[in-house]
Amino acid sequence: MNNAVPFEWIAAVRFLREGRLQTAFIILGITIGVAVIVFMSALLSGLQVNFLDRVLTSSAQIQLLPLDQVARPLFASDDVIEDATVQRPTQRIVSINQWQKVRDRVAQMPGVLNAAPTMLGSALVTRGDASRAVRVSGVEPESYFPIIRIPDFLTEGKATLANDEIILGTDLATNLGASLGDTVNVRAASGNSVILRITGLFDLGNKAANESVSYVALRTAQSLLGQAGAVTTIEVKIADVYAAERLAQQIAAANPVKAESWIATNAQFFTAIRAQQSSNTLIRAFVGLSVAFGIAAVLVVSVIQRSKDIGILRAMGTTRGQILRIFLIQGGLLGLAGAIIGCLVGAGGLIWYHSLIRQADGSELFPLLLERQMFIVTLGLATITGLLSATAPALRAAKLDPVDAIRG
């Protein structure tokens, strides 16, 4: 059996076993370092996902809007300005030109998961003596709700939108004194009005949105706002949320629309996420550097302590290459062993912390993300770090002269 095991592995394991105290301390140091990396990486990833989920709860990743109207001076003949006073056009509902073609073209782009047309406008919701100004969002539930997950935030009712139905925020319903099944009168600035029945109440976790947002069927909104067959926005969902700005620029360049990504509309928040990612990378780098120096220090001491053993091995015919591999194997084994234990400790610590820290309503503060890829990468990097850390001590051991080493 032993003949099948290379000599370098036998010697490396024996050296580690004979220096049990040193081995235990360096594995403990690696364990702590890897546990910190795993814990912090998974924690920050979970918090980042939670932050993104909150930001994108009530807004699309990319929103397509009509191009801005531009006022131009009136020219007479011979380039003479007839009217030099140029005023900004009055604000009115503007629809996207040929929105069906734009939607279909965008939906076929690589990286785009869904595109949903919407009709947005302002209206006054009245019930009895109570009235509130709201933003009316006319949507097609089958295409819109996969982007803005209103069904996930319903507190009462169901997410259906027939032509005579409406979904309101919980705070808006409270302000109107309305409840599930009641009817409200919705009147637009144009004078059009419609009576709708409340089929659902939602809570987006944002008081401003809960007080001012309502959802109706797309055709209902088009009729109410006097824009038959038109839409004012197209909401887009993509696979990679961090590619939103790049895709938005591509869409705007190829279509007669203005494309706004969540990155552009939430610039400060996106900057905070990037800063968080940079700090996470720095933490990993410094922890990995401290682990590398720890392994190198222990192996340097081991080389000094085992100079005579190395000299004897060299005198017995062991090559420099074999001596080099002995210490490299030690570094790799130390890194791998510490990484395995560290991953278990880090994951266990995060699971305990996740169960302990809760929001005021008892829900989780952040999603628990323990991805297989993170553990594989951590194990690989820790092992490589061990090998690289052992390089200098291994070269020192391989260069020892047998006679000088035995004389001590």
pLDDT one-digit tens code per residue, 186-230: 999 888 999 999 999 998 878 888 998 999 999 999 999 988 888
* Cβ atoms of residues 58 and 213 within 8 Å: yes
Bridge pairing between strands 183-188 and 154-157 = unpaired
Q: Is the pLDDT of residue 84 over 60?
A: no
Percent of the chain with pLDDT over 70: 87
Confirm if 232 and 65 have CB atoms less than 8 A apart: yes
pLDDT at 124 over 60: yes
Residue 229 burial class via C-beta count within 10 angstroms: exposed 0-12, middle 13-18, buried 19 and up: exposed
Residue 63: phi and psi, rounded to 5, are -120, 125
Q: How confident is the model at residue 1 (pLDDT cuts 50, 70, 90)?
A: very low
Task: Determine the Cα–Cα distance for residues 295 and 13; give it in Å rounded to an integer.
Answer: 15
Most confident of 7-21, 167-181, 319-333: 167-181
Tokens for 50? 């939670």
Partnered with residue 132 across adjacent β-strands are 125
Separation of alpha carbons 139 and 257, rounded Å? 19
Which carries the bigger pLDDT value, residue 397 or residue 204? 204
pLDDT at 259 over 80: yes
pLDDT band for position 180 (cuts 50, 70, 90): very high
What pTM did the predictor assign? 0.65
